Structure 1
Amino acid sequence: MATHADVCKKQRAVIEVLVLEGESAAAIHNRLKNVYGDNTLDVSNVRRWVRRIKGSDSAKGEALLVDQPRSGRPAHAVPDINLKHTDELIKQNRKIRITEISEALDISRGSTDTLVSNLGYSKVCAKCVPRQLTDTMKQQRVEASTELLSMHAEDETFLQRITTGDETWVHHYEPESKRRSMEWRHADSPRKKKFKSQPSAGKVMATVFWDYQGVILIDFMAKGTTINSEAYIETLRKLKTRIKRCTTTPVPTQV
């Protein structure tokens, strides 16, 4: 399918022939309109090309049918130097904003969006995971889970009889939002991880107990409490009382 530029070029060739035959600009425009319809050059353009052809050497032929180079905004609005600088800025700060890149390069926001897109970057959030585990900790969890599944295969009610617990520090801090954690990454770049457990200014110890139905007890240790056997015994007493309220399963006399 011919482009608009190709159609215009063909009409200029027709204009040149008709000018050499002595046709007026108005007559040429009417004849073009009969052939090209809505794609016809407007009458002002036809008059301009008629004047150009009459005032030039027709022996130049093809040179008369194309626009000559002229000054003005370059057709390529994204110079390679801007691509290079944008890539450097993003690599220096993966969280840099489009506005900051635009101001640093002194170009429009739209041009900056085009630069970032051409470089293949897209902004993604960090993947949120509970905590950072070492390889040893991961292996221990795999072994424990495998053992429990083996016991469950022998007795399907095995997991229903388990009440387990864990301790964790509840930190006092304002977590970084997912939006603030967004960074520029390529499609094949590894996704950054964002840990829920992070250092903070204040914290309190929480002991959580649960069974297959869900959480049974969350016990927050009072600030200043010494973590010793007496503190753990008190927590287990609370657990025993809570289990009596939440389940009809007989509770052992010794916890």
Structure 2
Amino acid sequence: MCDEKQKQRINLKFLVKLKKTLTECYKLLQEAYGGNSLSRARIFEWYKRFIEGRESTEDDQRPGRPVTVSTPETVTKINQIVRADRRMIAEAVNSDKETVRKILHEELHMTKVCAKLVPKNLTPDQKFLRQQVCSDFLEKLKEDLGLMKNIITCDETWIFQYDVEIKRQSMHWKTPESPRIKKARMSKLKFKAMLIVFFDINGIVMTEWVPEGQTVNQIYYLSVLATLRERDNAPAHNALSVKQYLAGKRTPVLEHAPYSPDLAPCDFFLFPKIKSALKGTRFESMEAVKQKTAELLKALAKEDFQHCFDQWKKRMERRVARGGEYIEGEHLNVE
């Protein structure tokens, strides 16, 4: 007497004889059996068998009950399977699920993790460039021990009238009976402004609020370049006229690799500090935003900036050692 799965295999064999495609077979079986239908993987497996000429719809013989002990052969096989296809491991190696779980966690030391969010999936050339830029910079530091004291770094960022708190910032204690606090999606902003900041190892050198409607292009950027010594490679910063201006002022320029907010002091240090403190506050005017931002910048100690520059050097050393890769656990600006 046929069981439910064999009946489906018989129907699948009939559909193959009618020269139905795999997708058509899957949809028809789903339509006929609903939630009890064979899985897509099983349908694919049996479809392939029937296409290759298999006649029997009987399930293959299995060598007894699943193995409940771990063997070196099983560990090796699971390691190969999980790297190629994480599904159906237990069935493929004829082991029970608990044995597979123990092998994955205790012997192969594997864990299931979410994908790491990064600014960009770097190409080999981009990784090499990041590594090379960091290596060149570290060489300059060896040649000139006082170089860090002469660097002024700069970047721009949007400051919003209201920036919603991240979920971690709005965490609270609750009893089993109390309801969770609700968090609305970000409402439409009334205003925002762009802030340009220059700072060095000792503190803030200069801040500039970009006038409303003004584009930060090379012409505008030239007007705020007087104290700039190191800049990132955004288009406005990298324009020919900016390079000519810096050359004319005999200002040495340190190269910054593209897609590298993790190597820009403003992105991994200054802006996160300011924006984290501003999140959750709804300002009534642009002047209030500017005043609060100025207070936060003024509150940063000299030691904060020195620590930032120390971390900058360490980040570059790690990028050289890791072939230009982003490093998990370090702040990455992906906005």
Q: What TM-score, normalized to structure 1?
A: 0.31
- Compare CA radii of gyration and give the structure with the larger one: 1
Q: Which has the higher strand share?
A: 1
Q: What TM-score, normalized to structure 2?
A: 0.24
